[in-house]
Amino acid sequence: MAERLYLIRHGRTAWNAEGRIQGWADVPLDDVGREQARRLAERLRARPPELILCSPLWRAYETARILAAVWEVPIEVDERLKERGQGPFEGRTGVEVAALQQAWREMERDPTAEIAGVEPRAAFAERVWAAMEAAMARPERTLAVVAHGGTFSMFFRQWLGLPLDRPSPFRFDNASLTELALRDGRWIVVTLNDTCHLTDL
C-alpha cells in the first residue's frame, strides 16, 4: 500500500485571483498558476511520486500535466477528486454571494441540505473519502493527488472526525504541498499547506 502522499492543490486561475467561486466550472490556470506548478515540480524533482492521481477539472489536470512532464510519471484521473459543485454560486465573488447569504447559511448548517445545482455536502464528503481511501490503498509507495482546496479540506475533516456542519478549519493555497506519511501503521501529517517554493510569486 501507499507510504507517502503528496496532496497538491492546483495552481492559480484568474477566478482565484478575482475571488470567484469555481466549483465544477472548468477554469484554466493563469500564467502565475503555471509558474507555481513548475516551481513545485522542481521542488520535488529529486523525490517524485510514482503516479499522479488527479481531479478531472482542467485547473487540476493542467497542474498535473506540468508536474508529470518534469517527474516523468503517469497521470490517472479520478472523478471523485473534483471540487464540490456549487451551482448558482459558481463564478460569483464573495460580495455577490452576500445577496444569497440565507441560502448559503442553510447549505453550510445542514450537511444534507439540497439547493438547486449545489452538490449536498454529505454526498461530496462520501465521494472524497472513497477517493482518498482508494489512494491510500494503492500499490505505489509514493503518490501525488492533485485536486482542490475543498476536496482536501473535506478529507481532513473526515479523517479527524470533525463535524460536517461546521466551517472547515483548514486552508490549502494554490500549488501548496501537504505531505502525509505512513509511520508504524498510522498516517501522519509531515507538512500542511506548504508554499515555501512560491515565496517571491
pLDDT (0 to 100) of residue 36: 98
pLDDT (average), residues 167-174: 91
pLDDT (0 to 100) of residue 155: 96
User: Among 35, 62, 79, 83, which one carries the catalytic annotation?
Assistant: 83
pLDDT band at 141 (very low <50, low <70, confident <90, very high): very high
pLDDT (0 to 100) of residue 88: 86
Report whether pLDDT(113) > 70.
no
7, 10, 32, 59, 158 from 68: Cα distances, Å? 14, 13, 18, 14, 29
Q: What is the C-alpha R_g of the chain?
A: 16
pLDDT (0 to 100) of residue 112: 67
Active site residue 90: no
Report whether pLDDT(167) > 70.
yes
pLDDT (0 to 100) of residue 105: 67
pLDDT (0 to 100) of residue 164: 84
Look-up of cell digits 500564467: 31
Side-by-side strand order, sheet with 142-147: 75-77, 51-54, 142-147, 4-9, 177-183, 186-194
pLDDT single digits (tens) 28-50: 999 999 999 999 999 999 999 99
Active site residue 83: yes
Average pLDDT of the chain to the nearest whole number: 92
Comparing 156 with 95, which gets the higher pLDDT? 156
Give the largest Cα separation in the chain, rounded: 50
Full-model pTM: 0.91
